Structure 1
């Protein structure tokens, strides 16, 4: 993008003034509307200029241990010596000159130069009086070589709306009204709680019906999304990256403003209102977080001060071939402080309930997507990236220490051991990990013609071999419905009725399998086309019975999941799951139990993977008694054929599947039946 033109002739680059010794200054006080930021506990004066850094802050920053850099760096409107203005701080150790430019000074590169601190930290600071919230600015940086750059603020809380690229002075003050949720969320985010996540891309979930090209604001999204998610019964929403990103086709995964909600949809406070309203409705908020790479946009982090400041200087470690973007230098302490602070920022200032960390596998392995000769082994000769391993451990320890009622979730697709195990046991410390193997095996199985599924039943049963080695989340995410992969519904074989029946069956299998759940938007009502980042979901499909029935089915599964302890109390332990029968390959029927802490909460699940109904099908049961059908994916309200078990089922003293009692049941075509014992004994 072309460099911004100035409205006046630029002044010659002035000489950098010599730094002076710092002393303490009285903290600033809050002003009306909270436009003035509270000062840190200790502030210093540098040649008469206000500073938010203490020597201890600098020490933590330079040692990679600072967790609250957003209170120090960036732009902060403050009162200094009775004057309200804005304090700016930026890290640019390879610069010989830095200035703040913006509309307030006609983009004059010489009028508001910054002073570099005396302590060799590379931190530049300046207090500019009489400017505040809403002012547009950038940093003008001159590298030691003389190269000139104009950069946005890495710590800015607001940015211009793309394609404009300047930062905007803003604050994160907000009077939260979600105290009830925050007090009790430890019960909602616990590992033994039902977690059903609705994955959302804000720009394409829903658009203005009268102007489809217009993206909705945070407030408009809240008006529609909150009641919808609440009605559908999801427990959490996961937003694909909402941090400031300049390029819409990146879906938000190419971030330039790590400390700012995207300005496309409104202000930081507008975003906080969206989070607050979800919390008030009893819905948790998980944010996608991308510490794996960033784009090379001229205004962004790449070569920020003219040097490889944020990215690793060795392109074998500093460039990602898959995404044509740059990889953070995880060996540099100041970069680690940047990332640690950023993760905590979203939990602290924006009340996020968790972070789903993107592309963890790409960070763990030095040879990820690289050929021989394109990567360098670690000090032990291995392929593991030791720096990112230590970063993840430190990150998770910090999060669970400071926000123990939140969760971190790793998108990790390899067999790296202990991803969701505590650091003190040698793990990486994540709370959960995406179960990519389950997703791949399950979709491959369901895409098969039912005639041939009997030859591939192991694809369904294999997941339980490793299901309890990690705290797994079962993902049917956005990655599975783009780039020619088709929508979930379109993956299913058969005619229209069979496709819908197959998808209902898939969802029933997902919700009754061990682990937490994630479903990408549109799947819940049977979106027919692939996801498009620049268009709304096809909401009109809900006018048609098959899609309306699909939505009703997912809603019923969410309700069942939240009300049956057997489906969540032992999410991640083998004693919560038990196979009854995996040997009926000819009929392609599998049967298993889900068990809660109380034996009476046990559920019996029967899945028929063929379009052939089975009458009087005998199944071994865990105990004698009366069983009731609590879910049937073939119910007419789900657009099924109505092949259900409407009456209670009585156990019989006939040994089956190695169990002394059994019962006979009608199993619907391409259907799932869930039974629960309602009375023991007969």
Structure 2
């Protein structure tokens, strides 16, 4: 029978609609197959709820399920379930309902029962794990049965929120700023962050993997199965996201990533993790990230923070105690990697000690998570996670808070010059080298076995500067000491005999790193007035502490470590005193030729007491008495020389053993060794003198605050003046670099009266106590001998005659 024209049109429409529905179903099946195969970069387009051909379609990727269903609404008892069908040859289940019915689903959940294969495999793992524990037969049976029961109760029937009901929460502005290198607080939205979306608690995951084929999150919640919960690529930005309902604090996770060729690479820890596992003796491969909520700590340092924001710290005295948290003290230690104090216990121990000694700041060697404890933290993998060896994030907050409430500043070492090569971290993160330079000629520090960050990439700059801002924001740190700045400044650093690149002008300056450091300092100081940025730099780069706006070379740091002073001073004092006279000018006097070219900090750090170098007291020549006298001389010279001060823990008790990260300090020396207590007393008195007298700090960074008045090569005596802003207030400092006391020594000084206020040969410091000077020393006319023999004499009209202790320092106060 022939169709009427109107019937023919309807028939064609029906056929086309059926064809379109068929094509849609076919396309959905293909996409579901790709999701099952962990090969779809946009799983939100397939999974979750969708409207297709006047139907509501809900799909879920349930890799361990043998059946699944939709449970409508919040009242689970009075609503019937909607069965889901497994799509052929996939792990995707699908339910289709009419739109009218779908509108009444409400807040649905997905139910599923786990297949027997998963249960069997897990039961075998339980049995194997308990067998390896070496349990007795009865304990083995009980433990295995209980674990198996718990697993079956938790996994056999599951009722789940739909992870694909909500789109990833990353904005266009987030993406733009990230790729531009100006997303300075990316830690607020990237990584794993606990969120409440439409009254549903869960975790939002965001990760940067621009060259990845696909990305999924794995953890105990999906039996670490790659592809079980794939993330969606966000607008071709290189960012991937997924909101996972039902997860919360304490969840272990990593990212499973397929590279651009579709190969599954090593599971990756979250670069933005707020907490992480760390390897232990019994579990050396623990490196998973941990979902963590770091909000909610009740800070008590508001007064400190207000004062800090209104201060100019470079103009104040600063004496820093450098601390390695893992070796300050150990409790009940049996193995190397245990017995650590918690951050809270450390807070009370370290702060009480620092406060008694007169330190103003504590520098923490890196506390960012680092799998290899022996790296001391200088090969971190967690740029937003404090190491869990010493406690939880809130415990570190307590440490900082306690410091502030006791008027002590605290700042950590921050590593921006290298990335760890651990394959479960940033190295080849998405199968390509996205965080570090791909060019091997500038992408690796061979000596350290680390990678060089790609400072020319906007996303890497956002990542690193966000890390810096994070510690200042969330942990109230008072600054950052930037490690190994010299390695960042030069393209040929540590590349002797190796191929290296040049910059666009043909030079060896690493222009991208220079721009990064200038940007870092500008952003930090612009957002946190009163914090300090300190460069650990051994190079001769000019402008480390110059304002970043003053020139392309100016980096904008507040302080720079004076490595030249440290090397020259130690190099001089570790020699036998007989050979010192030839080095006075080249080593000690020469240091002042650059002492005011930057704002300097004088470091006697951990680097000087490791790797076979011995302790500071162990470096000193001579017998026991001379060693301690030389150490007193070193500390006296350090505290009267221009620059801020830093001592590594143990230096101020004259620890004899070289420092080791695997044991605590030898605190028993203070109880059993009188000489060690006396050195400790000297450092305490030097700290107090330095902090309370402007002569030793007011003009720290100005040539007008320092003046040589004596350079006696024959007697190995040096003398100098330290001035305050008041011209009538200054100190005269005299150093005897030999073990021979200098009696009736004539020293030309400005006219007036002088009083000795500190003598390192004092009995209370372990000296002989018989080389002191009278309470008042009026000046006398300069002798003809001194006039004629010493043409470098600064003051031709007046002098004092003094006794200078052997291997000692005397400090005289001017009384006009």
Q: TM-score, normalised by structure 1?
A: 0.92
**Of 441, 445, 460, which residue of structure 1 is paired with 2:568?**
441
2:207 aligned to which of 73, 90, 93 = 90
Structure 1 residues 187 and 574, CA, compared in 2 at 3 Å: closer, same or farther?
Answer: farther
Contact 1:393 1:428 in 2 (8 A): yes
Which residue of the other structure, out of 602, 609, 617, is the alignment partner of 1:489? 617
- Of 697, 703, 709, 1:580 maps to 709
Give yes or no for the alignment of 1:514 onto 2:642.
yes
- Structure 2: distance between partners of 1:188 and 1:84: 42
- What residue is the counterpart of 2:257 in the other structure? 141
Q: Is the 8 A contact 1:643 1:666 kept in 2?
A: no
Shift of 1:677: 2.1
CA distance in 1, matches of 2:747, 2:517: 46
> How much does 1:369 deviate?
1.0
CA distance in structure 1 between the aligned counterparts of 2:567 and 2:736, rounded to whole angstroms: 20
Counterpart-to-counterpart distance in 1, 2:689 and 2:533: 25
For residue 190 of structure 2, what is the aligned residue in structure 1? Answer: 73
- Measure the CA separation in 1 of the matches of 2:378 and 2:657: 22
Partner of 2:298: 175
Matched, 1:122 2:259: no
Q: Secondary structure at the match of 1:315?
A: coil
Separation in structure 2 between the aligned mates of residue 371 and residue 652 of structure 1, nearest angstrom: 56
Matches within 5 A, 1:45-444: 48-49=165-166, 51-118=168-235, 120-149=236-265, 150-162=267-279, 163=284, 164-173=286-295, 174-185=297-308, 190-208=313-331, 213=336, 214-372=339-497, 374-426=499-551, 427-444=554-571
Aligned-partner Cα distance in 1 for 2:441–2:655: 40
- Deviation (angstroms), 1:646: 5.8
SS, match of residue 314 in structure 2: coil
**SS of residue matched to 2:213:** strand
Q: Is the 1:476–1:520 contact (alpha carbons within 8 Å) kept by the matching residues of 2?
A: yes
Query: Structure 1 residues 586 and 559 mapped into 2: Cα distance closer, same or farther (>3 Å)?
Result: same
Question: Is contact 1:649–1:663 with CA below 8 Å preserved after alignment?
Answer: no
Q: Do the aligned partners of 2:602 and 2:643 also contact (CA within 8 Å) in 1?
A: yes
**1:227 shift after superposition:** 0.2
Give the 3 Å change call, closer, same or farther, for CA 114–630 of structure 1 in structure 2. same
Deviation of residue 77 (structure 1)? 0.8
Distance 2:229 2:332 in 1: 46
Q: Is the 8 A contact 1:667 1:673 kept in 2?
A: yes
| Native 8 Å contact 1:411 1:434 kept in 2 | yes
What is the CA–CA distance in structure 1 between the aligned matches of 2:405 and 2:271, rounded to whole Å? 32
* Per-residue deviation, residues 3-52 of structure 1 (Å, max 9, x unmatched): xxxxxxx96325233777xxxxxxxxxxxxxxxxxxxxxxxxx9742544
Any idea what the Cα deviations from partners look like across 1:186-219, whole Å, max 9, x if unmatched? 5776111111111111111211166574111111
Give the Å deviation of 1:622: 2.3
1:189, 1:353 within 8 Å by CA — same for their partners in 2?
no
- Residue 33 of structure 1 is matched in structure 2 by none
Cα deviation, 1:257-276, whole Å, max 9, x if unaligned, reads 11110011111111110111
Measured in 1, the distance between the counterparts of 2:40 and 2:583 equals: 73
Q: 1:11 to 1:225 in 2, by over 3 A?
A: farther
Write the distance in 2 (CA, Å) between the matches of 1:505 and 1:157: 45
User: Deviation at 1:331?
Assistant: 1.2
Match of 1:464 in 2: 592
1:307 aligned counterpart, secondary structure: coil
> More helix per residue: 1 or 2?
2
Aligned length: 642
Aligned mates of 1:554, 1:311 — CA distance in 2: 43
Report what 2:673 is aligned to: 544
Distance of 2:320 and 2:181 partners within structure 1: 33
Q: Which runs of 5+ in 1 are unaligned?
A: 1-9, 21-45
> Could you tell me how far apart the structure 1 residues matched to 2:665 and 2:437 are?
39
Alignment correspondent of 1:533: 661
Q: 1:667 aligns with which of 757, 781, 804?
A: 804
RMSD value, Cα: 1.7
Bigger Rg, which one:
2
SS in 2 for 1:645: coil
Distance of aligned partners of 1:171 and 1:122 in 2 relative to their CA distance in 1, 3 Å threshold: same
Name which of 486, 491, 500 aligns with 2:628.
500
Q: What is the CA–CA distance in structure 2 between the aligned matches of 1:167 and 1:238, rounded to whole Å?
A: 26
Does the 8 Å contact 1:651/1:661 carry over to 2?
no
- The residue that corresponds to 1:636 in the other structure is 763
Instruction: Give distance in 2, aligned partners of 1:473 and 1:550.
Output: 22
Which residue matches 2:3?
Answer: none
- Residue 576 of structure 1 and its aligned partner are, at CA, apart by 0.6
- SS of 2:397 mapped into structure 1: helix
Structure 1 residues 212 and 227, CA gap change in structure 2 (3 angstroms):
farther
- Contact 1:188/1:194, CA 8 A, preserved across alignment: no
Structure 2 distance, partners of 1:496, 1:199, is: 26
- 1:416-436 Cα shifts (integer Å, max 9, x gaps): 111111112111111111111
Sort the Cα spacing of 1:448 and 1:64 in 2 relative to 1 into closer, same or farther, 3 A.
same
The yes-or-no answer on 1:17 pairing with 2:42 is yes
- Contact 1:17-1:115 within 8 A present in 2 as well: yes
Higher relative contact order (CA 8 A, sep 6+): 1
Number of the residue aligned with 1:35: none
Q: Partner of 2:299: helix, strand, or coil?
A: coil
